[in-house]
Amino acid sequence: MRKMLTIISNILRGSASRNGARVVVSARTYADFTPQATFDIKKCDLHKLEEGPPLQAVLSREEGLQYYRTMQTMRRMELKADQLYKQKIIRGFCHLYDGQEACAVGIEAGINLSDHLITAYRAHGYTLTRGGTVREIMAELTGRRGGIAKGKGGSMHMYTKHFYGGNGIVGAQVPLGAGVALACKYLGKNELCVCLYGDGAANQGQIFETYNMASLWKLPCIFICENNKYGMGTSVERAAASTDYYKRGDFIPGLRVDGMDVLCVREATKLAAEHCRSGKGPILMELQTYRYHGHSMSDPGVSYRTRDEIQEVRSKSDPISMLKDRMLSNNMASVEELKEIDVEVRKEIEDAAQFATTDPEPPLDDLCNHIFYNDPPMEVRGTNPWTKLKSVS
């Protein structure tokens, strides 16, 4: 029976490519794909931890397809943002995440949506994994009323449920994240907070203040340093006396993780989450990752690193390619299937970009709104004494 269905599906696929019609190969029950496989993942360096994550990860076909789709969506979304920025449709700051997709997707795979997460300004990927849609993310970048923050926040200030941004001041999000963790502990709902920062931020004093308090009060906080080797234009060797970011928490146990491998990130996150939920207090993860773009759109990204280096990472360690190769070589998906996902993703991005470029800007009436929550309407002074603008909550 299975063989016959395979033949039929092959025929259908064949005819589909001739006619250009799309055939959905849902494939779960009747295609002969491997439902799940086990992969070796890199060992994590440990600091004050007895045991690290397992050296193998189990990936199901469903999970694989989902991670692939999300990472690809993230990738294409960031590349589209690059395009729109160069066309001057996106303005101001735009910090792109391409290359680091495995971090955002792997972390989300290790926690629940009911957990909490906060990061810095390279936040588009997390806005997506935390429940934002590509449409509302792109429309926020282009400053339109359909944006996730109605156009009032921009690239660095996007929020969803249990996602606290998007924060522009380097390092400030770390105490905030510990505060969220404090609330988790206080309210007793067994939730935790993932608190991200970069290698540049890792030297901030307030982070060490936060390590101290999180550890003292045993806050359920996973500190994650996304080490992409450069804090803006400064390489880690030039910025940090110790580049072992996973050890910088001192009394906080830490682990260094291959941030280009979504499975490695996922397993490490699961371990970290278990640590927090069991009441042991905070834990620190360093994700070794890489960004293809410069620090932001105003940084070409090649004055402080070579194009060869970027190319090398792309060819040898790209997170999406790594996942794709794993799935294909283990017969967990077909080339066509993944291509189809690519096509769907491209369409989603195109539609979103279309929306983001045609949606109108926020109405001027909205200028002074959202100053205070749950307050009666008030007057706000305009640019001159005769201009009194209205503000509602």
Q: Which of 18, 51, 186, 237 binds another protein (CB under 8 A)?
A: 186
Give yes or no for residue 165 binding another protein (CB under 8 A).
yes
Measured from the CB atom, the residue of 8 and 216 that comes closer to another protein is 216
What is the b/e burial string over 335-360, where b = at least 16 CB atoms within 10 angstroms of the residue's CB? eebbebbbeebeebbeebbebbeebe
Q: C-beta of 153: minimal distance to another protein in Å?
A: 5
Please list, in sequence order, all residues whose beta carbon lies within 8 angstroms of the beta carbon of residue 315, skipping any fewer than 6 positions away.
none
In the complex, least distance from residue 200 CB atom to another protein, rounded to whole angstroms: 16
Among 67, 164, 223, 292, binds another protein (CB under 8 A): 164
Who's near 122: CB < 8 A, 6+ residues apart? 95, 96, 97, 100, 198, 226, 291
Of positions 8, 55, 216, 343, contacts another protein by CB under 8 A:
216
Which residue among 1, 21, 24, 187 contacts another protein (CB under 8 A)? Answer: 187
Nearest Cα residue to 106 out of 291, 275, 267: 267
284: contact with another protein by CB under 8 A: no
Is residue 360 close enough to count as binding another protein by CB under 8 A?
no
Q: Is 223 in the site for another protein (CB under 8 A)?
A: no
**Residues 114-153: b if buried by 16+ CB within 10 A, e if exposed:** ebbbbbbbbbbbbbbbbebebbbbbbbbbbbebbbbbbeb
Contact call for residue 262 and another protein (CB under 8 A):
no
Per rule CB under 8 A, is residue 339 in the interface with another protein? no
**Nearer to another protein (CB atom), residue 251 or residue 372:** 372
Backbone angles phi, psi at 390, to 5 degrees: -95, 140
385 binds another protein (CB under 8 A): yes
Should residue 190 be labelled a site residue for another protein when binding is judged by CB under 8 A? Answer: no
Stretch that binds another protein, among 7-15, 71-79, 148-156, 322-330 (CB under 8 A): 148-156
Q: State the minimum distance, in angstroms, from the CB of residue 193 to another protein.
A: 8
Distance of CA 202 to the CA centre of its chain: 18
The gap between the terminal CA atoms of the chain, to the nearest Å, is: 63
